[in-house]
Each structure stands twice: as structure tokens, then as C-alpha cells.
Amino acid sequence: MHIKTVEGLIAAGLADDAAGLEAVAAKYAVAITPDVVALIDPTDPDDPMARQFVPSTDELVTTPDERADPIGDLSHSPVEGIVHRYPDRVLLKAVHVCPVYCRFCFRREMVGPKGLGTLTPQQMDAAIGYIAAHDDIWEVILTGGDPLVLSPRRLAEMMARLARIEHVKIVRIHTRVPVVEPARVDAAMIDALKASGKTIYLAVHANHPREFTEAARAAMAQMADGGIALISQSVLLKGVNDDVETLAALMQRFVENRVQPYYLHHPDLAPGTSHFRVSIVDGQALVSALRGRISGLCQPIYVLDIPGGHGKVDIGAASIAEVDGHYVVRDWQGAAHVYPPRIEAAD
Ligand code: SF4
């Protein structure tokens, strides 16, 4: 059952505080797909899957540093549906609905049935026109919402329009679909994604190794076999993946499934999400610990989106510093080494 109401959550045995959760649902959209319901252990009060998708009254707490548009989409939007933050790339947000609504979502004020909606044909014309008119746009990033809720026909139409823009070389799609609704991935979807003739990257959003079900792995394999390059995106979340074992397993699962680790996001200052936030110092320690623990193939970039729309910055702990004319580098266990090594004086 695709749960979209508090009543549905209670009927499925995933929640019991109807009054409290109705207050949450009035502010933020709720949806959990059957694939995700099957992953939740209702007997575990700390279940990392439930924590990601089942609403909590903790979301009613908004802290002073949180903001409705934490990464400044709206202040960098020249036309509806486009976010132009960096010279060489734009976001194209055709839809603002998702198969699931993640409780930590940084666009939670924009997505859902009461969110920014789907671009009208006129708005889509204007968005495509904007991309066509800006020669420096090398990459178009389809996000939202989840662009893979669109039918293959609509996806193919959008891709065909991008195909006609010579200066766009890369189309990147950010999605949770291969994990939360893997049955949507089929040959028609893959053909639609490839209809642009551009190089396609697809960023698979997953936060816990348990999300790699047999069906999810099959969906990723179908995409990889279909010629789509897969990269990862995850959010570092308290109570979900903020320990070395879980993060290491998550990154290994990505690599095992031909998904190249890419971004590990520090959680954004989205309203009602303070219960998910880890400190940056703790995040740096976790990411440093991964370095010695798992293969270089499995290392994500730990990034912060600077509030206000100033872009992403790599916030992994610096492993090198200049001290008295030498470099001091730190290994994965924190030990310091001088670089280049000092030359021992001969006796
Ligand atoms: S799938 Fe992405 S956009 Fe949709 S609710 Fe989750 S984090 Fe937000």
C-alpha cells in the first residue's frame, strides 16, 4: 500500500500519535511506498528506515537557524523551474512531487501536493528557452521533486528538447526512485532518459545499506547496463547513518552496484529537521575514518551547501597544513607526518 496519510500510517502499524502527526502532515507532505514500508521494522523504535520516512512530532520544532529555502533556490531562480547558481549548470525542476517524502528533505517547503507543483507547458517553454539562450550552460540537472515520477513519454519529450540545445553536453538526474519504487525503472524509462543523446548521469539517493534490496539492485543494474552512469548522493543523518560501520557499508553497497560515491551531504537547515543534524566535527571524523576503513573507490565528498545559495563546499577535514615551511599531513588514524620526510643527517 502506498501510504499518504496519517490514517494510513496508523493502519499499517507505523505510528500511533494521530493528533500530533496530523499537525506534522498539515505542514509537510507524507508518502511512503510499499517497497519502503516493507523495509521498516515497526518493532524497533530506532529503526533507521522509519526515521527517514515516518513523520515524527520532532518536526514541529523549528530552530532559529532553520529556513524555508535553506540553499537559496528561490533567490537564484531567473525563471520558474530553473535554478542558476553556477555558470556552467542549472537545475531544471519540472515536478515537485516524490514517491516518498523524506523527513529531512531540504526542499520540504516546496515539494508535495501543496508544493510548487508541476511546470505548465508555458513555464517549461520558458525554462527550456532560458537554457537555450545561455551558451555557458554545459550541464542540466533534473531534480525537483523526483523527475522519475514523470512518465517515459514526458521524460522523452523533455530530453528531446534538451537534445536540440547544442551547448548542453551533460544531463544529470537526481532521484530516489531506484530505491523507493524500483518497479518504475524499465526499458521505456531508460530509453526516454537516453532520448537526448547527451551523456546521462543519474544520482541515486540512498542513506542506509538496507535500502539496497534485491529489487533496488536490479533497477540499478538495469540502468547501468542501459548505459547510464550512476553516481551516489546521501545525507549524513543522526540515527540513520552517523556511524562508521553503517556509512562504510552504504558506500560499499553503492560501489558493488556500480554507483560511484559522489556526495555525502551535511544536512541542510530545513525547518523541523534539527533532530537529524550531526555536528560538522563529528561528520569530519566519520568521513576521515572511512579513508582507512574502506577502498578509495568508496570515498564520498562530504559537502555543505552554504545557506543562502552560495553553493557547495567540501568540508572534509583538511589532511594537510603548512607548518614552519614544511607540510604536515595526517593519515587516516590521525597521526601526523612531515612531507617531504626530513632527510636524516649522516653521522
Ligand atoms: S526524494 Fe528528494 S526531493 Fe523528494 S522528499 Fe526525498 S529528499 Fe526531498
Dump pLDDT digits (tens) for 76-121. Answer: 999 999 999 999 999 999 999 999 999 999 999 899 988 898 999 9
Are 175 and 146 contacting, i.e. CB atoms less than 8 angstroms apart? yes
> What's this model's pTM, rounded to 2 decimal places?
0.94
Are 205 and 175 contacting, i.e. CB atoms less than 8 angstroms apart? yes
d(CA 177, CA 202): 11
- Strand, coil or helix: what is 74? helix
- Annotated active-site residue 268? The verdict is yes
Taking only the tens place, the pLDDT of each residue in 56-87 is 999 999 999 998 988 888 889 999 999 999 99
Catalytic option among 69, 73, 146, 268: 268
d(CA 72, CA 86): 13
Question: Which residue owns the Cα nearest ligand 1 atom 3?
Answer: 145
Taking only the tens place, the pLDDT of each residue in 16-25 is 999 999 999 9
In 51-160, beta strands by DSSP E: 82-86, 89-93, 139-143
Catalytic option among 35, 105, 161, 176: 105
Residue 29 Cα: closest atom of ligand 1 = 5
Q: How does the average pLDDT of the chain come out, rounded?
A: 95
Residue 120: closest CA among 173, 87, 79: 79
Are 97 and 145 contacting, i.e. CB atoms less than 8 angstroms apart? yes
Using pLDDT thresholds of 50, 70 and 90, give the confidence band for residue 195: confident
Ligand 1 site-directed mutation target among 97, 101, 150, most atoms within 8 Å of CB? 101
41-45, 72-76, 162-166: least confidently modelled range: 72-76
